[in-house]
Amino acid sequence: MSPATPDENRFRQRELLYFGRVLAGQCHELANALNIANELCGLHEDTLPRASEGRAGAVEKLGGIARRAQAQIARSNEIVRVLSRFAHSLDEPRAAADAREIVERAVFLAARQARLRQAGLRAVLPEGEVPLVDCSPFGLQMAIHAGIELFIEGIPEGRPVALSLAFDSAGAVVTLDAADFPPSRDAAAGRLAEIAALARAAGCGLREAAEAGRMVFLIRYAHRDATAHASDTLAPRAGGGC
C-alpha cells in the first residue's frame, strides 16, 4: 500500500476533527438528558410518601414525573441510535446510500449548535420511497454539516436555517437556505472553498451562492443510467420530516 499523500492526510485529519466535535457535542446532550432523568427519579422518590398518604395531587404529580422521565429516556435512546449510525457511516465506502437518512442525521447532529445560537433549524424531506445515490455517506454528511455551521455562525441569533431534499432527473438535490446570511462572501470564501472540497471528496458537487444565503449539493443516482426514480429505491418509511 502506497503512503498517504499530504492532501489525504489533511482530509483524514479533517474527518477526525469532525468526528471528535460531533461525539463531544452529543455526549453533552446525552449527559444532560441523563442528569434530568436522574433528577426526576429523585423528585419521584420524594413525592412517593405524599402519594402513599393520599395527599391531593400527589398521584397526578407522580404520573407527570414519570412521563417527563420517559421523555428523557427516549431522547437518550435517540441520541445513542443516531450516534451508532454516525459511527458506522465512517466505515461505509462510497456506494449506494440513502440521502434522506444522511440529511436527517446531519440536521440532528447540528441541532445543538443551532440551539446554542438560538437559530431555527429544520428540514423538509420527501415521503415514501426515495432513490439511492452514489456518494460517501460520511463525507456527504460532513459537507452538509459544515454548510449548516457556516450559515448558523453567519446569521443573526434567532434567525432560521432551512434544508430541503428533492430528486430530479439527474440525482438528489440538497438545498440549504439562510435568508439572513450576510450579503458579502469575502469573509466566508475560505470556508466555502473547504465545503466545496468536502463535497467533491464525498462524490458530489456544490453549487453555492452564499451571498444569497443558499447552498446546493448535487448528488448523482447510484445507477448511472437512471432516468427515473425507480432505478434503485429504498422502502418507504413511516412518518416524515425531521
Contacts of 146 (CB under 8 A, 6+ apart): 18, 191, 194, 195, 198
Asked, for residue 166, whether it belongs to a domain, the answer is yes
Sign of CA dihedral 79, 16, 171, 181: positive
Examine the fold and report which residue of 53, 72, 89 is the final residue of a domain before the chain moves on: 89
pLDDT at 83 over 90: yes
Asked, for residue 234, whether it belongs to a domain, the answer is no
Q: What is the value of pTM for the model shown?
A: 0.82
Burial 132-142 (b: 16+ CB within 10 A, else e): bbbbbbbbbbb
Same domain, residue pair 103 and 202: yes
Alpha carbons 118 and 178: distance in angstroms, whole number: 14
Same domain, residue pair 80 and 102: no
Asked, for residue 225, whether it belongs to a domain, the answer is no
Asked, for residue 237, whether it belongs to a domain, the answer is no
What pLDDT, on a 0 to 100 scale, did the predictor assign at position 91? 83
- What is the extent of the structural domain holding 115? 95-220
Longest dimension (CA), the chain: 75
Same domain, residue pair 83 and 105: no
Asked, for residue 229, whether it belongs to a domain, the answer is no
pLDDT one-digit tens code per residue, 25-56: 999 999 999 999 999 999 888 888 887 877 77
